[in-house]
């Protein structure tokens, strides 16, 4: 599974959560943080998807996808969200939304660590190897 398959929905989820937090709770901080980090993750996911499509169409292995920069940046952002929301969960004890977002963000952090550690997204496609 490529990183963009989960990064794009995760980014949208964070943006929606930030928007809901800003509107429902009147928290500008939630709106800016959730919206900003969510938008950044969506951008990283889009860049990764574009690189994947370019490599797949050209059949070239010269530009491996996604770059380590995209994975590490995504890991840092999801790690920040995990820390913030887990801290809010410990203080408030509320599973919704703090605990849920902390759990999803923790999962995404582990996902990015797995992708970085195994280099599974950085391998050229099977069809490209055959050429």
- In this predicted structure, the answer to whether residue 32 has a pLDDT above a threshold of 70 is yes
- pLDDT beyond 60 at 84: yes
Average pLDDT over residues 102-118: 95
Going by pLDDT thresholds of 50, 70 and 90, the confidence category of residue 79 is very high
- The pLDDT score that the predictor gives to residue 60 is 61
pLDDT confidence of residue 1: 86
Query: What is the mean predicted confidence (pLDDT) over 72-97?
Result: 95
Average pLDDT of every residue of the chain: 87
Closest CA relative to residue 54, chosen from 125, 129, 130: 125
């Amino acid at each position: 599974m490529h990183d963009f398959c989960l990064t794009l929905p995760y980014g949208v989820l964070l943006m929606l959560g930030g928007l809901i937090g800003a509107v429902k709770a009147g928290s500008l901080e939630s709106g800016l943080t959730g919206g900003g980090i969510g938008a950044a993750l969506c951008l990283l996911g889009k860049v990764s998807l574009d690189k994947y499509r370019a490599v797949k169409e050209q059949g070239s292995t010269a530009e491996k996808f996604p770059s380590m920069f995209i994975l590490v940046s995504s890991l840092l952002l999801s790690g920040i969200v995990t820390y913030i929301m887990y801290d809010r969960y410990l203080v408030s004890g509320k599973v919704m939304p703090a605990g849920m977002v902390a759990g999803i963000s923790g999962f995404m952090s582990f996902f990015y660590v797995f992708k970085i550690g195994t280099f599974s997204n950085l391998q050229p496609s099977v069809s490209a190897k055959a050429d």
